[in-house]
Each structure stands twice: as structure tokens, then as C-alpha cells.
Amino acid sequence: MAIIRLGDIAPDFTADSSMGMINFYDYLGDGWGILFSHPADFTPVCTTELGTAAKFKDEFDKRNVKMMALSVDGTASHNEWIKDINETQETTVNFPIIADEDKKVSTLYDMIHPNADNNLTVRSVYIIAPDKTVKLIITYPASTGRNFHELLRVIDSLQLTAYHQVATPANWEHGEKVVVSPAINTEDAKKIFTKGVEEIKPYLRMTPQPNI
């Protein structure tokens, strides 16, 4: 079984889905991607998650992030489950759910953790950059639903820090101050970040978010 770590190239795959055959790289194109796995169809927590994901699609679209889910059941089961999701969550699932009956994709992405369950995928999230590198991995137990506000916050941070020499502090939200990279000395930082640099300690400098 493969082990996926941050900075690795996300494995490509072609698989059937609720929206037909899909090649992962072609689907992502030159944008960002989020892939999230589910233990099985017709599971209660995942039903709420996929409904919530559908409601958040516009927010992911604004950030140029393509959404894709995965479950180890087949497309016929997915399509029946989607009817339940749409009904109970009062939404319309508007992204593909990969069918992974042979667990090919689950194995590629290290989604099966034998000590948790030998047969079902764990509930993992992978955020993938335009260069196809894995930028974030979060793995949840089956009993805990994902926080989609947190996923958007993390994407905002990843996209900001990918293009600017900053990091985001604890509990950072879009629009708040950010941390100047330790690789930049304070004199240079003041030239780069023209909105101002606050030096709290030599290694801890804050500046307004540079891309707004």
C-alpha cells in the first residue's frame, strides 16, 4: 500500500464515478483540487458531509478548487445514495463521487487503515495544488464529521502562502494579519510588505495580508 505524504505528487487515476468515467488529472486541469473519501454509501455522517459539500461548491469554485469524493461502493449505489443526500440535506450533489469497488484508488491514497477497519476507507481529505503536489492531508475517524469552514480556511492559507512569503498564525481567518517568513530579514521585509511590518520578536513579525 502506498503512503502519501505532504509534498508528494498526488497519484493519477482513471475511474468510474457518479458522473461517468473520469481521469483525475484531466478533471483537475491547472487548478487546485480536493479529494475526500467516505467509508461506504448510505452512512449517516457522510450523508451530511456530502450535502454540506454540495452547498459549499460555490465557495470552492471561487478558489478554483475542483471537488471529488470517493466511496468503495459502485456507481449504481452512489446514484441511489445521492437521491437520499439531495432529499435529506435539501441540496443537489454537484460533483463526482468515485466508485472504488476494487479499492484501487483507496490503496493509491492510503485510505485503508487496518487498525481502524480492514475493509472500509477512512475519512481522509487531500488538498492538491496545481502542480499536483499534496498540500494537506486530514484524516478523521468515522464518528466525526468534517468542518467545511475549516477546509476553506486552510485553502485560503495554502493559496496565500503559495504565492507570498508569509505563513498564517493560529486561528487565522482571511483578512487578518499574517506572519512574515523567517527567511526574510526585517529590513527586506519592510521593502516587500509595504503595508507595514510589526516586529514582536526578531523571529515573529506580522504584516497585513498582502493579497487584499
Produce one character per residue of 170-189: b if its CB has 16 or more CB atoms within 10 Å, e if not: eebeeeebbbbeeebeeeeb
Cβ neighbours, 10 Å, residue 5: 9
pLDDT of residue 110: 84
pLDDT of residue 48: 96
20 half-sphere exposure, CB direction, 13 A CA radius:
1
Nearest alpha carbon to residue 158 among 2, 4, 6: 6
Helices 44-55 and 75-89, axial angle in degrees (round to 10)? 70
Please state the domain extents for the chain.
14-145, 164-207
pLDDT of residue 113: 61
- The residues with which 77 forms a beta bridge, in sequence order, are none
pLDDT in tens, the chain (212 residues): 568 999 999 999 999 999 999 999 999 999 999 999 988 899 999 999 999 999 999 999 999 999 999 998 999 999 999 999 999 999 999 999 999 998 899 889 988 765 555 455 567 899 999 999 999 999 888 788 999 999 999 999 999 999 999 999 999 999 999 999 999 999 999 999 999 999 999 999 999 999 99
pLDDT of residue 121: 53
Angle at 99 between CA 63 and CA 15, to 5 degrees: 75
Cell numbers 487546485 correspond to what residue?
Answer: 32
Domain range 14-145, its CATH number among 3.40.640.10, 3.40.30.10, 3.10.129.10, 2.30.30.40: 3.40.30.10
Q: Which residues are catalytic?
A: 46
The dihedral built from the CA positions of residue 145, 121, 60 and 157, taken in this order, carries a sign that is positive
Give φ, ψ of 206 to 5 degrees.
Answer: -115, 150
Assign residue 88 a region: left if phi > 0, alpha if psi is -120 to 50, beta otherwise? alpha
